[in-house]
Amino acid sequence: MSVEKDIIKIQHKLQNMSDENADQSQALDLLKALKDLPITLDILTKTRVGMTVNSFRKSCNNEEVITFSKALIKNWKKLLNGDKSTTQETKKEKKERKKSEEKEQKIETKKDTSKPVIFPTPSTTDAVRLKCRELLVSALKTDDENEGCASIEELADELEDAIFLEFKNTDARYKNRVRSRYSNLKDAKNPQLRSNFIAGAITPAQLAKMTAEEMASDEMKTLRNKLIKESIDDAQLATVQGTKTDLLKCGKCKKRNCTYNQIQTRSADEPMTTFVMCNECGNRWKFC
C-alpha cells in the first residue's frame, strides 16, 4: 500500500509540472524514483501511472526527461506482456537486450514512434454489454487523434463496466444510463465533457454516475440557473400582497379585476415599475 501512496504523490507532482510555465527541474528525479519502486502489474493497473508519465512526456521540453520517460514506459510494457525479470536473464541475454534498447532509443530520439501503455480492461461475452460498449466507442470517436494514454476502446469498456457494476444486470435502468452517456458524449454542443473524459479529468466511475445537470455544458448550466432564478423571482412576486383595482383591464380576458404591485427596479430618480396580475385568468404584465 505504501508503494501505491508513493506513486500517487509522484503523479500529483508530475501533473502540476505539466503546465506550460511550471518548474520541471525535479522531473528527472521523480522519474528515477518511479523506476526504483517495486511496481507490480496490479499496482501499474490500479494507479494508471503510465498515463501520467506519457502525458507529462508530451508537455516536457527536456530531451533527457523525454528519453527517460520513454524507457520507463517500455519497461512497464514488458511487465504487462509478462516478460521475465532481468535478474533471471543470462549475461549474454542482458548484453543483447541492452544493445537492442540503446538502438531503439536512438531511433526514437530522431522520430517519436512510441505508443501509449495499454492497460488490461475487464472483458465480457454478454451480447447486450458488448453492443453498449460499441455504442460508447462510437460516441467517443472523432476525426481528431486520441491524445490520451488509454485507447478509446479501453475508456468505453471501463465506462460500461462501471455502469454495469452499479446495476448488476442489463435491465432498462442499465440501458437508459448507457444511452444518456452516449447522448451527452456525442453532443456537438458539449465537446468539453468528451475532452475531459478522454484526458482523464473525469474518470469512468465518475461519468457513470453523473447526473444530467452535472454533464451539461457551461452554456446550458448558465441558462438553467437563469431560468431557476426567474422562476424564484416570479414566485416571490406572486406571494407579495398587492393592491386590488378595477381601473386596470386585462388584455387577455378583458375583465377589470386586477391586483398590482409597484417595485423600484431602476435607479432612485426613475419611476417605479408596476406589476399587474389579473385575478380572473392569472395573466401578468408590467408597465412603467
Cell of 165: 457494476
> Are 96 and 8 contained in the same domain?
yes
213 located within any domain: yes
Least confident of 88-97, 114-123, 212-221, 263-272: 114-123
- Would you list the DSSP string of 109-164? HHS----PPPPP------HHHHHHHHHHHHHH--SSPP-SSS-HHHHHHHHHHHHH
The model's pLDDT over 147-181, given as tens digits with 9 standing for 90+, comes to 444 588 989 999 999 999 999 999 999 999 999 99
> Are 25 and 83 contained in the same domain?
yes
- In 3D, which of 154, 157, 209 has the Cα closest to residue 180? 209
CA distances from 31 to 35, 138, 274 (A): 6, 35, 69
Per the listing, cell 511496481 goes with 39
> Residue 265 belongs to a domain with what CATH number?
2.20.25.10
> Are 19 and 73 contained in the same domain?
yes
The model's pLDDT over 247-260, given as tens digits with 9 standing for 90+, comes to 899 999 999 999 99
- The total domain count for the chain is 3
Q: Which of 77, 110, 143 is the last residue of a domain?
A: 110
Dihedral sign, Cα of residue 176, residue 180, residue 186, residue 189 = positive
Split at pLDDT 50, 70, 90, the class of 281 is very high
87 located within any domain: yes
Cell of 135: 455504442
The model's pLDDT over 19-77, given as tens digits with 9 standing for 90+, comes to 767 777 788 888 888 888 888 888 878 778 788 888 878 878 788 888 888 888 888 88
The model's pLDDT over 219-236, given as tens digits with 9 standing for 90+, comes to 777 777 777 777 666 655
Residues 181/211, Cβ–Cβ less than 8 Å: no
Q: Is 243 helix (H, G, I), strand (E, B) or coil?
A: strand
The answer to whether the pTM exceeds 0.85 is: no
Residues 255/268, Cβ–Cβ less than 8 Å: no
> Are 6 and 104 contained in the same domain?
yes
- In 3D, which of 60, 1, 73 has the Cα closest to residue 34? 73
278 located within any domain: yes
> Are 148 and 199 contained in the same domain?
yes
> Are 37 and 97 contained in the same domain?
yes
Strands, DSSP E only, in the chain?
Answer: 243-245, 258-263, 273-278, 284-287
Angle formed by the axes of helices 2-16 and 49-59, to 10°?
A: 20
> Are 189 and 246 contained in the same domain?
no
The pLDDT value recorded for residue 149 is 45
Q: Which of 48, 76, 110 is the last residue of a domain?
A: 110
Using the predicted structure, report yes or no on whether residue 194 has a pLDDT greater than 90.
Answer: no
> Are 49 and 83 contained in the same domain?
yes
Give mean pLDDT, residues 68-96: 67
229 located within any domain: no
235 located within any domain: no
Q: Which of 83, 110, 137 is the last residue of a domain?
A: 110
Angle formed by the axes of helices 191-199 and 172-186, to 10°?
A: 100
Sheet with 273-278, side-by-side order of all strands? 243-245, 258-263, 273-278, 284-287
122 located within any domain: no
The pLDDT value recorded for residue 89 is 47
> Are 168 and 90 contained in the same domain?
no
> Residue 106 belongs to a domain with what CATH number?
1.20.930.10
- In 3D, which of 19, 90, 12 has the Cα closest to residue 52? 12
- The percent of residues above 70 in pLDDT, for the chain, comes to 80
> Are 244 and 212 contained in the same domain?
no
> Could you list the residue range(s) of the whole structural domain that residue 283 is in?
240-287
Q: Is 274 helix (H, G, I), strand (E, B) or coil?
A: strand
The model's pLDDT over 265-276, given as tens digits with 9 standing for 90+, comes to 777 677 788 889
Residues in the chain: 288
> Are 74 and 45 contained in the same domain?
yes
Eight-state DSSP code of residue 84? P
User: Which carries the bigger pLDDT value, residue 255 or residue 87?
Assistant: 255
Using the predicted structure, report yes or no on whether residue 99 has a pLDDT greater than 80.
Answer: no
> Are 87 and 21 contained in the same domain?
yes
24 located within any domain: yes
Angle 59-64-66 (CA atoms, 0-180°, nearest 5)?
35
- The percent of residues above 90 in pLDDT, for the chain, comes to 24
